[in-house]
Chain A
Amino acid sequence: MSGLSIGELSRNTLMTQQNREIKNRIEVLSEQMVTGQVTNITRHLNGNFHELADIEHRLKTLEHYKKSMQQGANMLSVTQLALKNIHDRTQTLHDKLRQTDQLSKTAFQTALKTESRAAFDAAILSLNTQTSGRSLFAGAAHEKPALATAKDIYSKLKTAINGMTKANDIVTAVETWFNGSGGGFET
């Protein structure tokens, strides 16, 4: 019979089928066009997700490493600023101490004393620098400042050299005080 006649439903089915296929195809293509991504990833990768997963994984981890690096860079630049600050102050002091001809003058001594004290205060303050809640020079226990306040250290040092008259003795005593573990400067 099939050679002689073609059933009504035959053409109908054929056309519906073709129509559906075309519609599906347009749907997929327009979605890919709009999103810029393949619709059926499984088919596109032939079921092998290793590379895609690897790339995505690296991207995500790298993003977080980038954030960590930025934080690290930020901390290091603040650290550098603090160290530079100390360096500048000590340099100025150092220059003044070399003016030997002036050292005998009382007015100069008083000025030098004030300046030394200020430089010391500034150095301690720099070493206690905090950024985003972390003390830069305090190691792992960075929730607290690295050193005691300059005022505390100063008063403790005064006690340590109490009664001493010779410059050498005082230098030794101060060095010992600073070198001792668990010294009064610690927090």
Chain B
Amino acid sequence: MSLSGALLNAISGLSAAKRGTELTASNISNANTKGYGKKSAILMARLGSGGVDVLGVKRFQDAGLLSDRRLASAGLENSDAKQLFLKKILNLFGTADKSGSLSAHLSRFESALVGAVSNPSQSISLQNVFTAARELAEKLNQMSQKVQAARETADQKITSQVKTLTSALNTVKDLNDRILKLKLNNKDTSTLEDQRQKQIDDISDIIPIREDPKKNGTVSLVSLGGTTLLATKPAEILFEPSVVITADMSRKNGLLSGLKINGTDIALNEKGPVRGGSLAAQFAIRDELAQAVQTELDAAARNLIKRFQSSSVDATLTAADPGLFTDAGAVLDPTKEVGLARQITINARVDPDNGGKLFRLRDGLMSKVPGTVGDTKTLKAMQDIMSEKQTLASGKFATQSHSLATLSTAILSSLGSDLMAEERQNEYRVSALTQLRELEKDGAVDTDEEAQKMLILEHSYKANARMIKTIDEMLQTILRI
């Protein structure tokens, strides 16, 4: 043993205290930073001559908790997106007490018919029937358009999420490389790990993933569905956006793009490799949920056209003549039902703006000259056919018997119960996520604890400095002899 050895020990103690102070200062300054992992120095007694070595910096993180929180967050993103879509669609239909709702439009049309039956000679009565019918058709058009717009929005969101995903994967790859280099040189990598964690959080919301840490400090990312997103290099994710989407475009018929990972088309269902996150939700909205709503709208439009296209309602009609509601001006073509709700229009023969005449509502669509002004036969038949229960030919409620009013309510209620199911899931996920976040925050920086550590560090620094002073005095004593 020598005094110079003691001096070296004291100096190593000083530098350990300095490193510790630095980390504590960093912890306190980041007390309110999201995603910051609490850090402390890893100390180890030096072999042989003694003293202390700072081996590295430990970043506190509960890997299990982090993984659970990521999954919960991804699940929430998923159900949030679906819930938002369902709410939007439900608002589009509107509940019966709102004047712009589909139910209200149907009621208004029926009421207008009641008014016309009791007063068939007044042109205002017929005008009311015409306006209500046109607004009903327009409401269906508008709803169909909005549903397709929702699909376009979903497509845009997929595009931007794929972009985010690609850039985040590249950043993680970059950080992996830098961490590897620093580790080889025995440098502190904890700040880079903070950054990497944030990037992985972002990725995980889009596609839920499991993080697979390697011994050399790098991580590889595997999606919950089992596709490797990042190993030595990031996976190549391809999606082709579609700017305009119409009802007849689907992934099935190849008019809309699916998702390619490393050149392979992947399944996008609930068991697919990207399941569970916000990306899967947008695909579900674009390819399933919105399409299902469109199918119901088309089925309702078809039923509406069919009801009024019958010679038992309007005796002047032959099989080749379109009724009051038409498929873009023509008779109903049952083989081309997709997108029908977008095309349903009022027959031009009654539209005064299109050279039609209102009296045809009373006297039959094909009549050339006005008939008896008090004739209510056709109007009464129209009123009756609205509330008549008919077996539906298509859609979710096919083979069920519905009037138009009950059909619109049945569709709305089915959407409502879907929304309720999604909301319940969502509530559960929110509370789970809140809990996990709280647990995670419990492990984050606590300034009281840091202050305590600072006292110890200060103490240690003073003691080591005192040591150096003592050694100096001892050396002076020797020299004075």
Contacts and interface: CB of A to CB of B under 8 A. Distances in A.
A56 B372 contact: no
Contacts of B423: 43
Contacts of A45: 416
Interface stretch (A6-14, A26-34, A103-111, A155-163): A6-14
A54 B409 contact: yes
A52 interface: yes
A72 B413 CA distance: 38
Interface in A68-89: 68, 71-72
B449 to A, nearest CB: 4
Contacts of B103: 53, 56-57
B428 interface: no
A52 B375 contact: no
A61 interface: yes
A61 B449 contact: no
B445 A8 contact: yes
Contacts of A12: 32, 441
Nearest to A144: B373
Contacts of B328: none
Contacts of A164: none
A64 interface: yes
Given A53-B409, A56-B96, A64-B111, A46 B417 contact: yes
A134 B118 CA distance: 12
Contact of B121 (A50, A61, A134): A134
A48 B445 contact: no
A169 interface: no
Nearest to B434: A17
Given A47-B420, A49-B413, A57-B103, A68 B374 contact: no
B107 A61 contact: yes
Q: Which applies to chain B's interface (DSSP): helix, strand, loop or mixed?
A: helix
B373 A141 contact: yes
B350 interface: no
Question: Could you say which interface size class chain B belongs to?
Answer: 35 or more
A179 B447 CA distance: 111
A159 B81 CA distance: 88
A50 B416 contact: no
A139 B374 CA distance: 7
A57 B69 CA distance: 47
B31 A9 contact: yes
Nearest to A3: B442
B375 to A, nearest CB: 5
Nearest to B415: A47
A5 interface: yes
B377 to A, nearest CB: 10
Contacts of B406: 50, 53-54
B438 A8 contact: no
Contacts of A14: 438
A74 to B, nearest CB: 11
B155 interface: no
Contacts of B410: 50
Contacts of A9: 31-32, 34, 441, 444-445
A173 B453 CA distance: 129
A52 B97 contact: yes
A48 B412 CA distance: 8
Residue among A2, A10, A68 facing the most chain B CB atoms (10 A cut-off): A10
A167 interface: no
A8 B447 contact: yes
29 contacts: A1-B443, A2-B443, A4-B449, A5-B442, A5-B448, A7-B446, A8-B444, A8-B447, A10-B441, A13-B437, A14-B438, A41-B95, A42-B90, A46-B417, A47-B417, A48-B417, A49-B95, A50-B406, A50-B409, A52-B97, A53-B103, A56-B103, A57-B103, A57-B405, A61-B114, A63-B111, A71-B119, A138-B374, A140-B372
Interface of B: 31-32, 34, 38, 60, 90, 95-97, 103-104, 106-108, 110-112, 114-115, 117-119, 121-122, 372-375, 405-406, 408-410, 412-413, 415-420, 423, 434, 437-439, 441-449
Given A53-B103, A56-B107, 18 more contacts: A5-B446, A5-B449, A8-B446, A9-B32, A13-B441, A42-B416, A42-B419, A47-B415, A47-B418, A49-B95, A53-B95, A53-B412, A56-B103, A57-B107, A57-B405, A68-B115, A140-B372, A140-B374
